[in-house]
């Protein structure tokens, strides 16, 4: 039976993640409400704007239910803004009152927009631990990881900084694999969800 994986659909590139997950064998659906969150085995938090996503998590009354599911062991994968939100600490988190809110799922410190502004976005081929051959990575106003805890495995680096990490059932990338057509990161996450089941 295919794992049921939700994609947080408050803001960001939801459609691309849904397509990538389905191509990787998951039963993928959007998540906007607590009842939809309750119905999935795992969650993808897409790229987008982390302060806006944090605000919308509160508006849709999803922040605390999501924190609870993550603390209870629900697998999650975050790309770009999703990586930022999965962290325990966020640097340059935004304007007080409208800042990016950590979900405390991966023991790491992440810096928002670390590679620069939109005009500094770039693509690169990077080595990704556990994948055969380089992975083409698209970085858009991307974060990087400045600190990882003892239980966090660094899977890839760019410009000397961690840009892909895993801690138990949690996976995060600073880049956007959903836009390249390479489904290996999504396949890895689907396998993580199946292994947990």
Q: Please tell me which residue in 16, 80, 89, 129 is annotated as part of the active site.
A: 80
> 173 with 154: CB under 8 angstroms?
no
94 is in an annotated binding site: no
Q: Total structural domains in the chain?
A: 1
pLDDT one digit per residue (tens) for the chain, 197 residues: 799 999 999 988 899 999 999 999 999 999 999 999 999 999 999 998 999 999 999 999 999 999 999 999 999 999 999 999 999 999 986 666 668 899 999 999 999 888 877 666 889 999 999 999 999 999 998 999 999 999 999 999 999 999 999 999 999 999 999 999 999 999 999 999 998 76
> 9 with 30: CB under 8 angstroms?
yes
141 is in an annotated binding site: yes
49 is in an annotated binding site: yes
Does residue 178 carry a catalytic annotation?
A: yes
Integer Cα distance of 150 and 80 in angstroms:
22
117 is in an annotated binding site: no
Residue 161 structural domain: 4-195
> 98 with 53: CB under 8 angstroms?
no
Tokens 């239980």 identify what position? 151
Does residue 176 carry a catalytic annotation?
A: yes
Q: Which two tokens stand for residue 159?
A: 């410009």
Tell how strand 144-148 and strand 135-139 pair up: unpaired
Does residue 136 carry a catalytic annotation?
A: no
């Amino acid at each position: 039976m295919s794992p049921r994986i939700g994609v947080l659909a408050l803001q960001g590139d939801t459609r691309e993640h849904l397509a990538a997950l389905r191509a990787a064998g998951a039963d993928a659906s959007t998540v906007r409400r607590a009842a939809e969150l309750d119905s999935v085995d795992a969650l993808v938090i897409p790229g987008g704007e982390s302060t806006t996503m944090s605000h919308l998590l509160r508006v849709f009354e999803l922040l605390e239910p999501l924190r609870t599911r993550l603390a209870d062991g629900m697998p999650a994968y975050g790309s770009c803004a999703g990586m930022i939100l999965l962290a325990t600490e966020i640097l340059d988190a935004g304007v007080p009152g409208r800042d990016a809110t950590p979900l405390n799922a991966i023991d790491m410190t992440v810096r928002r927009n670390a590679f620069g502004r939109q005009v500094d976005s770039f693509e690169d081929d990077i080595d990704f631990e556990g994948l055969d051959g380089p992975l083409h990575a698209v970085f858009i106003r991307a974060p990087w990881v400045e600190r990882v805890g003892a239980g966090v495995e660094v899977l890839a680096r760019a410009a000397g900084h961690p840009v892909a990490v895993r801690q138990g059932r949690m996976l995060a990338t600073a880049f956007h694999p959903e836009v390249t057509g390479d489904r290996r990161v999504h396949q890895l996450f689907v396998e993580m969800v199946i292994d947990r089941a």
